[in-house]
Every structure is written in C-alpha cells, then in structure tokens.
Amino acid sequence: MKVFITREIPEIAIKLLHKNKFSIVIHKGERKISRTELIKNVRDADGVISLLSDNFDESVISEMKKCKVIANYAVGFNNINLKYAREKGIVVTNTPDVLTDATADLAIALALSCARRIFEGDKIIRNNKFIGWSPKLLLGFEMRGKIFGIIGSGRIGTATAIRAHAFGTKIIYFSNSINLELQNKTAAKKVSLNYLLKNSDFISIHLPLTEKTYHLLDKSKLMLLKKTSILINTARGEIIDEKALIEKFKKKEIFAAGLDVYENEPEVNNELLKLKNVVLLPHIGSASVEARNKMAVLSAKNIINVLKGKMPITQVN
Ligand code: GLV
Ligand code: GLV
C-alpha cells in the first residue's frame, strides 16, 4: 500500500511506516507542494500525511481513488473538507495533545516579548542604537496582577492559562462550556467575549478556525480592547480581522500584538511589518523537536491503524 507524505517530516514516522511494509512517497524539499503535484500523488495513495498548508477541498479529495485516511500533521484541520472526506469514506485525523506544551510555551513567549518589548530592544542593539542604560528606555508591563483573557479553553488554551497563572495573572476565559480543570488549577472565571475583551490586559486566542470563528475579532470586537492591551494569536490568522487590527495600531488603540499566524499565509500584510511592538513569527507554534517528533509518530500510527483495519487514534470526522 502507498502512503504519500506531502513534505519531509521527522524520520521516526518513515521508520514506523517502513516497518509496516508500506511503500512511501515523499514530496521532498522546502517548497510547498503545488496543487497539480498534490493531485497527481494522492490519486493512487492509500493513505496521506498532509500539512495544514495543503488544501484538501472537494476537488482534490474527489481525485483520491483509493485513499482510506488523511492524517493531518497538525492539530487544526480547517484545510480539509471533513464532510466530503467522510462521504468518500476517508478517515481524517489530527495531532492533538502532543503539541499543546509547545504551542502554550510560544503563546507565553509572545506575551512576554510584547509586554517587555523584546524585539524592539533587539532591534536597537542590531541597529547600533544602544547608547547606554536609560530610565525610560522600552518601558513595558509586568504580568503579575494583570488580567489574562483566554479565548477558547481547550487543551492549548488551558495550558497557556496555567502558565500565565504561574506568572501571577488572573485568568478569565471565554468558551462554550465550563472548563473545570482550568477553573480548579487557575481559579479562572468564565466570562462573555465582550467582558473578556473589555477587561483583559493580555488576550490569547486558542480556537479552531470554523465558519463561526472566522473574524470573531472583527472591527467592533477589537474596539472593546483596552489601549494597553496585548493581543496574542497562535491559533489561526483568519480569526482576527487583520485590517481592523492594523487600524487599531495606527490609532494607537492597542499596546502590542504577538502573531504567529496570518489571514493569508504565507503572505503577510505589508502594513504589519511597519508597526512597532508587533512581534511576527512564521507559524511556529508546534515547532519544538519534542512536539514534531510526537506529531510524526501520531500521524504514522493513525495511518497504520486505519490501513490495517483498526481504529484511528485521533479521528476528527
Ligand atoms: C498548527 O497550527 C496546527 O494546527 O497544528
Ligand atoms: C539594572 O540593570 C539594575 O541593576 O537595576
């Protein structure tokens, strides 16, 4: 049976698949696979390991003549038409849990980078502009005593809240359901989205992208933010109306933002590049050696299980 992998992932996945006697085809190199190459390669594949940047819409899925499983190498799966895959009898899986710590670490790294203006400071040094210690240079904010608002209290939101709580922040969260673990570990309070936006010093987004969360933070919601607030997004770019966010910076109605994701990845709005105290990262939330290895193993195991007629571990459709 053929397993197609749309990009090189940690070797441990390849070893596992080899051990199970699958033939493996990998799209090699650092370039994203084109739609034409994708269609050509998935046509006769029994299983596919895909990236979040590969678009498995109806027209791609309909070309998959033998496929039983798409194992997305990501926790998010908005790049795959789940319903259509299901209709075609294709199991879709993701990689939850294993990247929770990595992503929560990054959310906190961004929060601190924004609060303490790390990248502005770095720039001063690199541009040879450091003329000595100064009482007013790059004043930021401490975390202790601040309100840390978590939007979406799933695994990553909870892990981020626990970290933020350890820094002395008060946690509030917006979610469809009560999260007792979060409340027990951090004394977090569940609040409305408007309350969270109006009152938080830090706001960190941890929701999947769906029709309901697209532009959840639109212009009218962003209006509610405090002028001193710090907005962190390690989820999906489309959840924030990026243009409206840029306007807020231009009007100095927000203190900082830490973005790991963008509305039109990999393109980044040119206006964002010009803004001070906006930290811009290239979608690296899960980019730890530990997480990526575990994601590779989980993806491979999902493929193996389905192709051997067993239950997938982390099915999403
Ligand atoms: C990363 O964004 C993921 O969904 O795993
Ligand atoms: C700062 O470097 C201090 O010593 O207070």
Determine the average pLDDT of the residues in 286-304. Answer: 98
Determine the average pLDDT of the residues in 52-77. Answer: 98
The structural architecture, per CATH, of the domain 100-280 is 3-Layer(aba) Sandwich (3.40)
Is the Cβ–Cβ distance between 194 and 224 less than 8 Å? yes
Residue whose C-alpha is closest to residue 257's, from 178, 61, 210, 239: 239
The domain defined by 2-98+288-307 carries CATH number 3.40.50.720: yes
Is the CB–ligand 1 distance for residue 74 below 6 Å? yes
Residue nearest to atom 1 of ligand 1 (CA): 74
Residue 316: its pLDDT value, please? 98
CATH 3.40.50.720 residue ranges for the chain:
2-98+288-307, 100-280
Is the CB–ligand 1 distance for residue 75 below 6 Å? yes
- Residue of 117, 236, 238, 242 with catalytic role: 236
| pLDDT per position as a tens digit, 194-253 | 999 999 999 999 999 999 999 999 999 999 999 999 999 999 999 999 999 999 999 999
- Report how far ligand 1's centroid is from the alpha carbon of 210 (Å): 14
Question: E-strand spans in 243-299?
Answer: 256-259, 278-280
